[in-house]
Amino acid sequence: MNKRGICAFSPTEHAVQLDLIGRVQGILSAETYFNNLRDQDKTDKTYGALLNCYVGHRRIEKSLSHFQKMKEMGFASSALTYNGIMCLYANKGQYEKVPDILKEMKRNKVSPDNFSYRICINSYGVRSDIEGMEETLKEMVSHPQILMDWNTYSVVANFYIKAGLKDKAIDALKKCEERLSNKDGLGYNHLISFYARLENKDEVLRLWDLEKSSCKRCINRDYITMLESLVRIGDLNEAEKVLKEWEASGNCFDFRVPNTIVTGYCEKGSVEKAEAMLLDLKKGGRTPTSNSWGKVAEGYINKGEMVKAKDSMKVALSLFVGSKGWKPNPKVLSGILTWLGDYGDIKDVEDFVGSLRSVVTMDRLMYHALLKSNIKSGKEVDEILSSMKADKIDEDDKTKEILGLRHNETKA
């Protein structure tokens, strides 16, 4: 549009274009675009866009050098510029440097905004400096141009909970709720999650009722938050009621919602209920995920029910479609493979390893299970050892111990 003369770019449009180039094509392309700008287009807007690019790519030296140029040219006159440097330090884990930038802002007569203070408060909280966090909050509250919002008190409450300061956390949550818009579902979700961490069931239920009456409708994200909170508290009966509310809500089906209770059942030892729920979903035409059946397998492992653990994991493996986000739990696989090697027959072992190798690469435990089952069945294992060698898995002491079983089987 700019090249064809349809829309002559002002510095603001150049800044937007520069930001997009930095996101898509990287720093070098952004620098080239900036360097090719006319002098009159190199304003605080375009300088700020290039700084944002450096910050986004976490390049400290380039960011600080460019920031210094902006200060020298009088372009570092907004909170946005300083916030970028504070975010950079926070993202690089150099939280101790964040408060110094806030001090520099004030020295240079640049007024901090809500985000400036929130980044600084977070930097103190991460370092467990509750006193520093409280002093910054006090300054923020007293600032005449700052309108306190619920997000800041949410950040403060989080660190109070982590520090075990329950009373102070509750006080911060009350202030958070006071500043919450009636229709802010995300804010209610934060409050519900925090009270669940404090194991305050009454407040969780009160806020859920308030959210349902205040917001036009609850979306799946809201139900997931509530169910996760009830699972954390350990009230699965109440969670079942909320699940029924969701089923009657008319919301689009999202497997993450019932999966929250499936996970809760497994964690609380009610793995049979979890399996029954997955089977009911399947009957209703809903396909459970690999992750869900993997959780059930883990639950059965914890109860020592190895046959059910193996069968559940096989279902999980059969549902795997190469999607991101799920890999079999190594501890669960180790338990099943060790058990199969010791007690399973050769067909069970070969079937399970066959299912498993379509999801993960062959490893030592899988070969050990195959070696054990074949030796117990009196079969030769030379081919298995050759495959093991081809996969660059050396024989260790455990392998030699298993191979030693051949002599015992011969004597028997």
Give yes or no for a contact between 81 and 75, defined as CB atoms under 8 angstroms apart.
yes
Q: Is 383 exposed, middle or buried (0-12, 13-18, 19+ CB in 10 A)?
A: exposed
**All residues at 6 or more sequence positions from 41 whose CB lies less than 8 Å from its CB, including other chains:** 9, 10, 11, 14
- Global pTM reads 0.85
Query: Tokens at residue 294, please?
Result: 């993997």
C-alpha–C-alpha distance, residues 207 and 242, integer Å? 13
Tell me the average pLDDT across 381-385: 93
Least confident range from 109-123, 171-185, 311-325: namely 311-325
Residue range 78-133, pLDDT digits in tens: 999 999 999 999 999 999 999 999 999 999 999 999 999 999 999 999 999 999 99
Core vs surface per residue 19-57: b (16+ CB within 10 A) or e: bebbeeeebeebbebbeebeeebbbbbbbbbbbbbbbbe
Alpha-helix residue ranges (DSSP H) falling in 41-113: 44-56, 60-72, 79-91, 98-107
With 70 as the cut, is the pLDDT of residue 300 above it? Answer: yes
